[in-house]
Amino acid sequence: MPKKKTYHHGDLKNALIKAGVEILAKDGVSGLSLRKVAMKAGVSHAAPYAHFADKQALIAAISTEGFRQLYERINAVAEKYKSQPEKQLIEAAWAYVQFAMDDPDRFKVMFSGVLEKEKEYPDFVAEAQRNFQLVKMIIEANQALGRLRSGASDLVAQSAWGIVHGFIMLLLEGQISHTVLEKMSLRELVEFQLEQIQVK
Amino acid sequence: MPKKKTYHHGDLKNALIKAGVEILAKDGVSGLSLRKVAMKAGVSHAAPYAHFADKQALIAAISTEGFRQLYERINAVAEKYKSQPEKQLIEAAWAYVQFAMDDPDRFKVMFSGVLEKEKEYPDFVAEAQRNFQLVKMIIEANQALGRLRSGASDLVAQSAWGIVHGFIMLLLEGQISHTVLEKMSLRELVEFQLEQIQVK
DNA sequence: TCTATAATCTTTACAGTGTCAAGATTTGAG
DNA sequence: CTCAAATCTTGACACTGTAAAGATTATAGA
């Protein structure tokens, strides 16, 4: 743990992203301030401006890193169940739900408009697309098996993603009714959602 | 336009909510400040505290009013297509999409965790539940016709809502892929989503 | 190796924010 | 008519994002 107190930090950019994620997990979106992030990284309050144009740029970096990790998780289960596309589908969805619940505030940052002009951050856009491509591949594998309706895979992928995403959003907002949550576990609920779009 | 400049405003509470909605539409979530709202209502910066405990309380009021209007819209189409449950379903979903697009930032306030402890605002919770009940009724009407899978209606309602909600969220976040948007109109996309959960 | 330019970081400053406390004004119940 | 409660203003405070100017360090080119 070499913490030499040089004038130059050495890896401030990544340190700021990391500090941001931690503050997000502890204090939520409204508790995330540039100054807190800077202090946590052991640097003056204006130092971040050497690496990020403004607060939005830091948020973009945090979101992009989030998408990177999300991709890794989904890709891991996709690899694991390579030979069983149906398993791929449910497990990927479940990984998505778990990712959201592991750090709800980071998830909100990624998907709830905290980042205001995402189009201006190419890395963010690229990483988001990479995730969608992965979902599309899983969908196509299921279509090939006749487990999902045939047709344009991007449309079906959009649906599948939307179903799981909508469920998560309502869950995080506390909009899943009490009676529903009493009847089923989260896992069962996710499976129930996916069953709806499955053929036969 | 009676703008008597009395010391007491008369209907400040509602005026603040209205001003908040307008600022939200113009400047977005990040541009919504208590002080701006107060100024727009023609009142000093601390006046809102006579009616709202803090900024969150104002946001709760704005959200609650939003749910009230959403209910009215959905209820209107539910009444209109009383005798055609399938029409009810698609038109209700479409009304939901339109409501979101009419004022995306208000929609985000209602559904994206801007309001942090929604459980602490009973009016908000009640209004949200009222909306869910309405959806459930539409679902049950469709189940009775065999248009939707039978079974616990709250579960199916949750799914249907989640599907539409997820689609809207991805849409507002710009996460609907370009190729998808070129193939279909928004209306067709919503219909496509709902077709997936319909029987036969 | 020396030097100058760029990159990085600190200090200082400013306007805007949410919120509180104290006081002014008005309303309305008794 | 009175006075307590409701409403609104003024002033203050700590915190925020961000810009400008200066200090420190790294690095590329001589």
Span B101-108, average pLDDT: 96
| Other beta carbons less than 10 A from residue A194's beta carbon | 21
- Tokens representing B100 are 């979101």
Interface test with B, best of A106, A165, A200 (most B CBs within 10 A): A165
Q: Residue B2 pLDDT > 80, yes or no?
A: no
Determine if the pTM surpasses 0.85. yes
Q: What is the C-alpha separation between B62 and B65, in angstroms, rounded?
A: 5
Give A198's strand partners: A148
Chain B residues within 8 A of A190 when measuring between CB atoms:
none
Q: What is the C-alpha separation between A63 and A191, in angstroms, rounded?
A: 27
Q: What is the C-alpha separation between B73 and B176, in angstroms, rounded?
A: 25
Footprint of strand C, using CB within 7 A? A 7-10, 12, 38, 43-47, 49-51; B 6-8, 32-36, 45-46, 49, 54-56
Q: B10 — phi, psi (to 5°)?
A: 110, -50
Which pLDDT tens digit goes with each residue over A82-125? 999 999 999 999 999 999 999 999 999 998 889 999 999 999 99
Q: What is the C-alpha separation between B114 and B111, in angstroms, rounded?
A: 8
Percent of chain A past pLDDT 70, that is, above it, reads 96
Q: What is the C-alpha separation between B113 and B116, in angstroms, rounded?
A: 6
Residue type, A102: D
Is A167 in Cβ contact with B162 (below 8 Å)?
yes
- The answer to whether A139 and A153 have CB atoms below 8 angstroms apart is yes
Which pLDDT tens digit goes with each residue over A115-163? 999 999 999 999 999 999 999 999 999 999 999 999 889 888 988 988 8
Helix (H) or strand (E) holding A148: none
Chain B residues within 8 A of A108 when measuring between CB atoms:
112-113
Q: Residue B1 pLDDT > 50, yes or no?
A: no
Highest mean pLDDT among A116-125, B4-13, B31-40: B31-40
Chain B residues within 8 A of A113 when measuring between CB atoms:
29, 104, 108, 112, 172-173
Question: Touching check for B172 and chain A: CB below 8 Å?
Answer: yes
Q: Residue A193 pLDDT > 90, yes or no?
A: no
Which pLDDT tens digit goes with each residue over A16-47? 999 999 999 999 999 999 999 999 999 999 99
Q: What is the C-alpha separation between A178 and B15, in angstroms, rounded?
A: 34
Name the residue with the least CA to C1' distance from nucleotide D16: A33
